[in-house]
Amino acid sequence: MTSKYSLKIHRKVEKQLQRIPKNKLERVVNALRSLREDPRPPGCVKLEEQLYRVRQGQYRIIYAIFDNELVVVICKVARRPEDTYKNLQSLLARAENVLGNKD
């Protein structure tokens, strides 16, 4: 891939990351960072529209890809048993809001 995507993280995801045990956090963060190089890695699942999901151990990372802007927006990081896939449309709206706030 010739272009590198920029990575944006919704503020709610920062709180979600703080709840992950330290011994698992590094692997999750590495998975997030790897999405800059390859936003559609092997094993990723397209949920709807621009939303994708990738697994990292017992955690699921839900993110949106905006190819025109070369941006990946992390919408949610959660353990699978939780309501990980509820309200996908609100997650997409969250990603679009983050994209719109070009800080």
How far is Cα 10 from Cα 77, in angstroms, rounded to an integer?
Answer: 10
Say what the pLDDT of residue 56 is. 93
Q: What is the pTM of this model?
A: 0.78
Say what the pLDDT of residue 61 is. 95
Which CATH homologous superfamily contains domain 6-100? RelE-like (3.30.2310.20)
Say what the pLDDT of residue 93 is. 86
Q: Do the strands 6-9 and 71-79 form a parallel or antiparallel pair, or are they unpaired?
A: parallel
- Give the per-residue SS3 of the chain: CCCCCEEEECHHHHHHHHCCCHHHHHHHHHHHHHCCCCCCCCCCEEEECCEEEEEECCEEEEEEEECCCCEEEEEEEEECCCCCCCCHHHHHHHHHHHHHCCC
Residue 99: other Cβ atoms inside 10 A = 15
Q: Could you report the average pLDDT of every consecutive run of 10 residues in the chain (103 residues)?
A: 81 92 93 95 92 94 94 91 70 83 53
Q: Which two tokens stand for residue 98?
A: 């983050």
Say what the pLDDT of residue 82 is. 58
